[in-house]
Each structure stands twice: as structure tokens, then as C-alpha cells.
């Protein structure tokens, strides 16, 4: 179950990054802060999600299960 949580965090990372990216570009568009100055936030977000992923991965689970074949996970 814990492993599943780690999988969840991993799966959520992409969308979270996407939202961050969109947000940064949106505030650039609105003329508040330029993306050139805010991009390090993306690195921070990646780092944070990795950290959370690490925190929720149970001890002894060195490697997550191998990725399923392309076309999405099998049921």
C-alpha cells in the first residue's frame, strides 16, 4: 500500500510540474514576473516531489517495479 502511495506521488509529479509551468508563464503573461526570473521554481518543485516520493517509499523498496509496456498500465 505504501508503495502505491509512492507510485501516486510519482504519477502526480508530471501534472504538478505542468501546473507550475503554466502558472509561471501565466504570471509572465500578466506582466507580473518574467519567466526568466521564476524558472528555478520548477527545479524546486521537482526536488520537492522527489523528496516526498522518497519519504513515502517504504524501507527496503529500493526500486519501483519496472514500467509497464507502452500503451498504459495493464489491469
Partner 1 sequence: MRARGSLTGPLILILIGAVFLIHALSPNFQIADFIARYWPYILIAWGALQLVEVCFRFVMNRPLPVNGVSGGAWVLVIFICLAGLVTSEFRRPDTWWRLAGLERGVQAFGEEHEFSFDSLQRPTGKSPHLVIESFRGNAKITGGDEQGVTVSGHKVIRAFEENDAARTNAQTPVELLTQGNTIIVRCHQDRTYTRTSINTDLEISLPKGASLEATGAAGDFDVSALAGDVDISSENAGVRLQNVGGSVKINTRRSDLIRCTEVNGAVDLRGHGTDIELTKINGQVTVNGSYTGSISLRSLKKPIKVENLRTEFDVQQVPGEIRLERGSITMQNVVGPTHLTTRATDVTIENFTSSLDLNVDRGDIELRPGHLPVGKMAIRTKSGNIELALPQAAAFAMTASTEHGDISNEFGDALKEVSEGRGARLEGSVGAGPDLNLITQRGRITVRKTSGSETVATVANADKPVQASLR
38 lies in the site for partner 1, by CB under 8 A: no
Whether 52 contacts 9, CB under 8 Å: yes
7 lies in the site for partner 1, by CB under 8 A: yes
CB of residue 8 vs partner 1: minimum separation in angstroms? 5
Q: Given the rule CB under 8 A, which of 25-33, 36-44, 53-61 is the region that contacts partner 1?
A: 25-33
Tell which one of 2, 26, 33, 61 touches partner 1 (CB under 8 A): 26
Whether 12 contacts 49, CB under 8 Å: yes
- Residue count of the chain: 75
61 lies in the site for partner 1, by CB under 8 A: no
Whether 48 contacts 16, CB under 8 Å: no
Amino acid at each position: 500500500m505504501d508503495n502505491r502511495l509512492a507510485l501516486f506521488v510519482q504519477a502526480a509529479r508530471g501534472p504538478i510540474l505542468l501546473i507550475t509551468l503554466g502558472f509561471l508563464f501565466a504570471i509572465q503573461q500578466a506582466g507580473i514576473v518574467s519567466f526568466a526570473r521564476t524558472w528555478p521554481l520548477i527545479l524546486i518543485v521537482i526536488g520537492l516531489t522527489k523528496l516526498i516520493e522518497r519519504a513515502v517509499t517504504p524501507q527496503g523498496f529500493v526500486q519501483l517495479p519496472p514500467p509497464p509496456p507502452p500503451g498504459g498500465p495493464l489491469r
